Amino acid sequence: MPHTLDPNLRRALAERVRYCHEMGIYDFYRRGPRVSESATVAAEVDVVSSTSQELREEMAARKPAVVARIAEEGIFETLTPKPEHGVADPVAALKLIREDLGDCTRCKLHKQGRKQIVFGVGNPRADLMFVGEGPGADEDTQGEPFVGRAGQLLNNMIKAMGIRREDVYIANVVKCRPPGNRTPERDETETCSPFLMRQIAVIKPKVVVALGAVAAKNLLAMNASMSELRGRFYDFMPAGARSSDPSWQGTKLAVTYHPAFLLRDPRQKGEAWKDLQMVMKFLGLEPPKKSE
């Protein structure tokens, strides 16, 4: 018999689904057969209201490790297997993700002037990964992230950390250029970020650095200002990664300013350098000697 959802349950479910979408989880499975309509609805109310309350508390406490907990809670029986699952070689696994992305038409960006998809570049076994917002005009032309002016500054930041661009992996939340370099819209990030999550799950970097608020908010699924987001490490596990995977050592995530912002406000470079020094300390990196 059809029943009307209690408004609180509806709200809690909507919040739960929105949260999962932000995490890149789109496939939901009902757990087990229904015992009785009313018993199941009552159980669902319990699960949803307690977990959404938990999530609210966790998000308020800024603990993005909730991603791992979602998988472990068993709320979703199965996450759809992906072609790269079980592929040990990260080069081959990334290739499979790229093939899965194909000539993507999943969101409206494909018909808004993008020249090509900008997948990602760098060392598939990198300890350090940078995540930006989305390709700009230069990236769209060259098919590689961060190759324009902001990219030159990012290269300098990487060099100052005592490493080379080829040592790290660089990707964006959305893989197609938003028209006029506008901020990617929610439906676009929701559609594209599962591919970023899969890239991170394959590369398993020790540290992900989110460049700017769009990347940070997307990766951490939290809405906070840059001043709140910066200055600390977060435990991070990409949605869809298997927390039971023994090769998963746990990734840290740090937030710093987007290089394009630093070009506009170079006074903040010192703050960005503090963020990078925190990452360097964690990774045991030393800045290059003056002569290098």
Size of the site for ligand URA (CB under 6 A): 12
| The only residue of 135, 205, 238, 240 in contact with ligand URA, by rule CB under 6 A | 135
Interacting residues with ligand URA between 90 and 109 (CB under 6 A)? none
Question: CA of 275: how far to CAs of 270, 282, 287, in Å?
Answer: 9, 11, 14
The CB-of-145 to ligand URA minimum distance in angstroms stands at 4
Number of continuous H segments (helices) and E segments (strands) in the chain: 11, 6
Looking only at the bridges linking them, the beta strands covering 128-132 and 234-236 are unpaired
Site string (168-187) toward ligand URA, x via CB under 6 A: ----x---------------
Interface with ligand URA by CB under 6 A: which range of 16-24, 91-99, 127-135, 279-287?
Answer: 127-135
Exposure on the CB side of residue 252, measured as CA atoms within 13 A = 18
| The only residue of 134, 178, 205, 240 in contact with ligand URA, by rule CB under 6 A | 134
The CB-of-208 to ligand URA minimum distance in angstroms stands at 14
Q: Could you tell me which residues are beta bridge partners of residue 128?
A: 207
Tell me the residue nearest to ligand URA as measured from the CB: 132
The CB-of-235 to ligand URA minimum distance in angstroms stands at 24
Question: CA of 278: how far to CAs of 78, 197, 256, 271, 281, in Å?
Answer: 37, 23, 11, 11, 5
**17 vs 137, beta carbon nearer ligand URA:** 137
Complete edge-to-edge strand list for the sheet that includes strand 207-211: 121-122, 169-172, 128-132, 207-211, 251-256, 234-236
Which of 212-237 are b and which e, b meaning 16 or more Cβ less than 10 Å from the residue's Cβ? bbbbbbbbbbbeeebeebbeeebebb
The CB-of-170 to ligand URA minimum distance in angstroms stands at 7
The CB-of-4 to ligand URA minimum distance in angstroms stands at 44
- Taking residue 106's Cβ as centre, other Cβ atoms within 10 Å add up to 15
User: With binding defined as CB under 6 A, does residue 188 bind ligand URA?
Assistant: no
**134 vs 238, beta carbon nearer ligand URA:** 134
Interacting residues with ligand URA between 227 and 266 (CB under 6 A)? 260
| The only residue of 55, 71, 107, 150 in contact with ligand URA, by rule CB under 6 A | 150
In the complex, the residues that contact ligand URA under the rule CB under 6 A are 132-136, 139, 145-146, 150-151, 172, 260
